[in-house]
Amino acid sequence: MQLQDILFSQGFGTRRVCTGLVQQGHVQVGVPEEGGALRDCADPWAEFALQGLRLRVQGVEWEVHAKAYLMLHKPAGTECSQKPSTYPSIYTLLPSPLRLRPSKGAVQGVQAIGRLDQDTTGLLLLTDDGQFIHRMGSPKHHVPKVYEVTTKHPVDESQVGRLLAGVVLDDDPKPVRAAACEVVGAAGESRHLRLTLTEGKYHQVKRMLAAVGNRVEALHRSRIGGLALPADLPPGGWRWLGPQELALLKP
């Protein structure tokens, strides 16, 4: 693929902007055959394979990915919407190429797979692969999601039992139940609950806890399927997902 097209595919601007970046000497390229060592390339039409390609664009290094799959450690006080109403959007935490990647000819950028509330923290996945978003959201694809819940009142065994048996929420007579639920610490004393859900209804954790007479004070998603939020990814930080991590998301 030509270097200008590669830059365009990665979200560095229009083809004209990308051609200009290369011609003006702002782009360095590292290919796997040369150990990834970066060297100048001022020819926008030079051909490179995408696999394992590294770029440095205006001094900033960039891994080339044909499709973007990433995880974000969502901080509190951010909204998952592209057009937030009150708090900053999570998309402001991403570098601009991720927000400007073209998809089917239009600038779309990556999109969050599902949403977390503004005050919820933790693991959020984003991608520009529409089919992947669709698969992950499908009811047939029951990937368990684990939430660390800080409750207002200590959690007792009867609340755990009711969450596992199923509670009725106000918008649907069909009960929703936790796939797993454990009190972290001593039941009747601890305010830390680890809850696993396989669905993603609006405010589901908060509504389930309210239905058993408790209240969520803080909520953190620690895991999706076999993929855990890494301890060394700070709030606001993001990371590319590789094929091995994507495989952990299969149901």
Alpha-carbon Rg for the chain in angstroms: 22
**129 carries an active-site annotation:** no
Tokens 């004209």 belong to 16
- Reference 235, options 152, 123, 107; nearest CA is 123
Active-site residue, from 43, 117, 119, 156: 117
Q: How far apart are CA 67 and CA 9, in angstroms?
A: 9
Query: Contact, 110 vs 93, CB < 8 A?
Result: no
Distances in whole angstroms, Cα of residue 218 to Cα of each of 60, 149, 190, 236: 36, 6, 14, 17
Nearer to ligand URA, 71 or 219 (CB): 219
Give the shortest CB-160-to-ligand URA separation in angstroms: 17
Give the shortest CB-225-to-ligand URA separation in angstroms: 16
Nearer to ligand URA, 120 or 127 (CB): 120
Nearer to ligand URA, 22 or 116 (CB): 116
Q: Which helix (H) or strand (E) holds 145?
A: strand 145-151
Please give the residue ranges that form the binding site for ligand URA (CB under 6 A). Answer: 116-117, 120, 203-206, 219
Q: List the catalytic residues.
A: 117
